[in-house]
A and B are shown apart, each in its own frame.
Chain A
Amino acid sequence: MNHWIIAPVILPALLAPFIILVMRHDLSLQRIFSTIGTAAIVAISLVLLYTASTNPPEVYFLGNWDAPFGIVLVLDRLSAMMVALTAILALIVQLYAIGSGWDARGKHFHALYQFQLMGICGAFLTGDAFNLFVFFEVLLIASYGLMIHGGGAQRLKAGVQYIAYNLIGSTLFLFALASIYAVTGTLNFADMAVKVAELPPGDAALMRVGAVLLLLVFAVKGALVPLQFWLPATYSFAPGAVAALFAVMTKVGAYAVIRVYTLVFPTDTPATGMLFADLLLPAALVTLAVGAVGVLGASGLARMVAFAAIGSMGTLFIAVAQFTPVAMTAAFYYMIHSTLATAALFLVVDMVQDRRGNDTLRGSLPPMAQHGLLAALFFGATIAMAGMPPLSGFLGKLLVLDATRGPDMALIWSSILVASLVTIVGFARAGSQVFWKAHATTTTLEQPPSKSEPLAFAAIFALLAALAVLTVLAGPVTDWLADTTAELFDRTAYINAVLPVGGR
C-alpha cells in the first residue's frame, strides 16, 4: 500500500493546527511554513502523478479495512491530475497572497488556506460518497473563513449568503446520499457501481431520484445554471487571492460529476440511461449563455471575471455532458486551462482593485502604478479566458468543438462560438474602459505612485507561463489525457482495484 496517497490530505491537516497553535503571532513564520507545506504537496502530487500514469489505479485502505466496509482513497490518473493541478495553483496563489500582503489583512489566512487544500485534495482522492461529503464540508468551512478574510461589510454580507447557499447544498447532498444508500446499501463508489448495474427494476425510481439529487448538489458546486447564483457575489467580494484559489473549487463539482456519472451511473445503466446527459447539456448551454451575457453586462471587473468563470464551467459541462471519450479528453484539457486562466484573471483584477480602490467599469479613472504592465497581463489573461489564439483557451474550445458530433452539433457549435464572441466583446470593452481610457482623461503627466510587488507579479507571470506551457505542450498533454479518459471509462479496472477480486 502506497502511503503517499494520503499525504496531500494529512500534511495540510497537520500543518494547519500547527500554524495556529505555534506561530499565530508571527506572520513571517506562518508564511515560511505554509509555503514549505504547499511546496511539499506540489512535490508529493507530482510524484503521485508519475505513479498514477505508470501504474493502474491504486487504492489506499484507511485503517486497512477492506472496501466497501472501510473508507478508501483511490489514486488514478484523473485524481492525481486534479491534486497536482490544485497543488500547483495553490502554491502560485499563495505566493501572490504573500507578495500582495493579503495574508496580513486578517488572521489565520495560512491555517485556513491549508485546511482548504486538505478539503480539496481529499475530495479529489476519496473513493467513498460519504467521505466526499465530509471533504466537501472541510473545504467549504475553510472557504467560509477565507472568503471573509479581511472583513468589510459587503464581504460579510456576501459571506452569509454564500454560507446559507452552501448549507442548503450540503443538506441536499445528505438527502441524495441517504436515498442512494437506501437503494444500494453502500456508499463506496466501486461497490455502488456494482450494485447499480444489477439493480432490480422496482428500485429504479428511487435510484433515479437519488442520482438526480446528487447531480443537483454537484451543479451547485460547479455553478451550473440554475444553481449558479452564489458564485458572482462570492467571487467578486472574496479577496483576490482567495477568488483565484476558488477557481479550482468549481472544478471539484465538475470532477465529482465526471467521477460519479462515469463510474457509478454510466450511460448504459438500465435504470438511468442517458438521463444525466439529457439534464446536463441544456443546463450547460444556458450556463454558457449566462456567463457570456454576464461578462458583457457586469459593472465591475471582478464580477465580470466571475461571470467568465461561470461561462467556462458551461463550456466544460458541455464537453462532459456528451460522456464520450473524445469529449472527456477535451473537457480535461479545458478544465486545466480554465482553472489557470480564471486564477490569473482574478489576480490581475485584484491588482487593479488594489491600486484603484475599486474595480468599476463606469466612468474612467486615472492611470495606476505599473499601468502598462497590468494592461498587458490583463490582455494576456483575457485572451486565454475568452479562447482566442494563440493561448490554450483556443485549443481547449477547439477540442470541445471537435469532439462534438451528432444531432446537437449545430446547437453546441453555435452556442460556444457566439458565447465566445460576446465574451471577447465584453472583455474588450472592460479593457478599454479600465486601461485605455485612463490615459484619455489625464491632463497632467505626473506619474502615479509606484508600487513594487515583485512576488505578486511573479505569481501572475507563473500562471500565464503555465498557460503558455499548456499551449506549447498541447500534443503530449492531450495524449496523456486520452489515456486518462481511457482509464476513466475502463470501470472494471477501478472496481477490481477497490473491491476484493472475485467480488462479494
Chain B
Amino acid sequence: MELLVASAIGLMTACGTYLVLRKRTFPVIVGLAMLTYAVNVFIFASGRLAIGLPAIITDGATYSDPLTQALVLTAIVISFGMTALIVMMALGSFLTTGEDYIGMDDDAKPAAKPAAKQEGDA
C-alpha cells in the first residue's frame, strides 16, 4: 500500500508540475488542482498509513492520527476556495483581454513568470 500511495502522490505531483509550467491558464489551473490533490494525500500519509482504525482512542492501543484528517479538511477547503477564485479571475482576465496567456506579454513589461521562459510552445 505504501508503494501505491507514494507512487500516486509522485505521479500527481509530476503531472501537476508539468501542467503548471504551461503557458495558458486552463492547464495551469488543472495542474494546480492536481498539485492540491497530491498534497492532500501527502498530508494524509504524513500521519502514517493505517487501515480500518478509528480516529479516536477507543481501546487505547490502536488508532489512526486524527490531526492529519483535520489538517486535510482545512487544506481541502482552502484549496477548493482558491481554485474557484483563480477560475473566476482567469475567466475575467480572458473576457477582458481576449487571450488566456499567463505571462505578461507587453514588451515594456517582460514576462515575469518563469513558466513563460521555460516553455517554447507559445
Contacts and interface: CB of A to CB of B under 8 A. Distances in A.
A215 B48 CA distance: 24
Given A163-B86, A167-B86, A157 B104 contact: yes
A144 B89 contact: yes
Interface residues of A, number: 40
Given A178-B39, A182-B46, A232 B96 contact: no
A300 B108 contact: yes
B14 interface: no
Interface in A252-275: none
A98 B37 CA distance: 42
Interface residues on B, range: 35 or more
Contacts of B43: 174, 177-178, 181
Contact of A157 (B42, B47, B48, B93): B93
A130 B74 CA distance: 10
B108 A299 contact: yes
Nearest to B81: A141
A163 B85 contact: yes
A159 interface: yes
B35 A171 contact: yes
Contacts of A153: 93, 96-97
A175 B42 contact: yes
Nearest to A362: B108
Contact of B89 (A148, A175, A182): A148
B112 A229 contact: yes
Given A164-B32, A170-B78, A156 B97 contact: yes
A175 B46 CA distance: 10
A179 B42 CA distance: 9
Interface in B12-69: 20, 25, 28-29, 32, 35-36, 39, 42-43, 45-48, 67-68
A160 interface: yes
A230 interface: yes
Contacts of B45: 178, 182
B25 A160 contact: yes
B97 A179 contact: no
Contacts of A158: 104, 112
A168 B32 contact: yes
Contact of B113 (A159, A165, A181, A360): A165
A163 B36 CA distance: 14
A233 interface: yes
Interface string A16-49: 0000000000000000000000000000000000
Nearest to B70: A130
A134 interface: yes
Nearest to B114: A229
A177 B74 CA distance: 13
Contacts of B2: none
A161 interface: yes
11 contacts: A130-B74, A141-B82, A153-B96, A160-B86, A167-B32, A168-B35, A170-B78, A174-B42, A175-B42, A182-B46, A230-B112
Interface of B: 20, 25, 28-29, 32, 35-36, 39, 42-43, 45-48, 67-68, 71, 74-75, 78-79, 81-83, 85-86, 89-90, 92-93, 96-97, 102-104, 106, 108-109, 112-114
Given A157-B93, A165-B113, A181-B67, 9 more contacts: A156-B93, A158-B112, A159-B89, A160-B86, A160-B102, A167-B79, A175-B39, A178-B39, A178-B68
